[in-house]
Amino acid sequence: GAGVSQSPRYKVAKRGQDVALRCDPISGHVSLFWYQQALGQGPEFLTYFQNEAQLDKSGLPSDRFFAERPEGSVSTLKIQRTQQEDSAVYLCASVGQTSSDYGYTFGSGTRLTVV
């Protein structure tokens, strides 16, 4: 597609509920990143994929967070047993490999509110 698409745009979850957030990167983009952005803060790195391989998951805050990209395109970020501190905007970004393509293109994010 023309850009990075994320769904849902907004999600309200009850504490303890599991959620799944989807990211459709730009077609052909090899690398995909997930970030968490709290209100008034910059994005915080969560995890990174190159094709289907998850090369870095050092930013995942707990074992309740899990991400996958089984076919090297669409990625899903899953949060189990959500807690109020998980409330944030979750951003996905993809980047191509050409030397002229420095920009990491972000999706509009999923705003998660845990109540």
Task: Tell whether residue 106 is a contact of another protein (CB under 8 A).
Answer: yes
Report d(CA 78, CA 60) in Å as an integer: 11
Task: Tell whether residue 73 is a contact of another protein (CB under 8 A).
Answer: no
- The two beta strands, 19-24 and 110-114, are unpaired
Task: Tell whether residue 65 is a contact of another protein (CB under 8 A).
Answer: no
Taking CB under 8 A as the criterion, the residue among 45, 64, 68, 76 binding another protein is 45
Task: Tell whether residue 87 is a contact of another protein (CB under 8 A).
Answer: no
Number of separate helices (H) and strands (E) present in the chain: 0, 11
Q: Which stretch binds another protein (CB under 8 A): 16-24, 61-69, 72-80, 107-115?
A: 107-115
Report d(CA 91, CA 99) in Å as an integer: 24
Taking CB under 8 A as the criterion, the residue among 41, 62, 83, 113 binding another protein is 41
Q: 54 with 48: CB under 8 angstroms?
A: yes
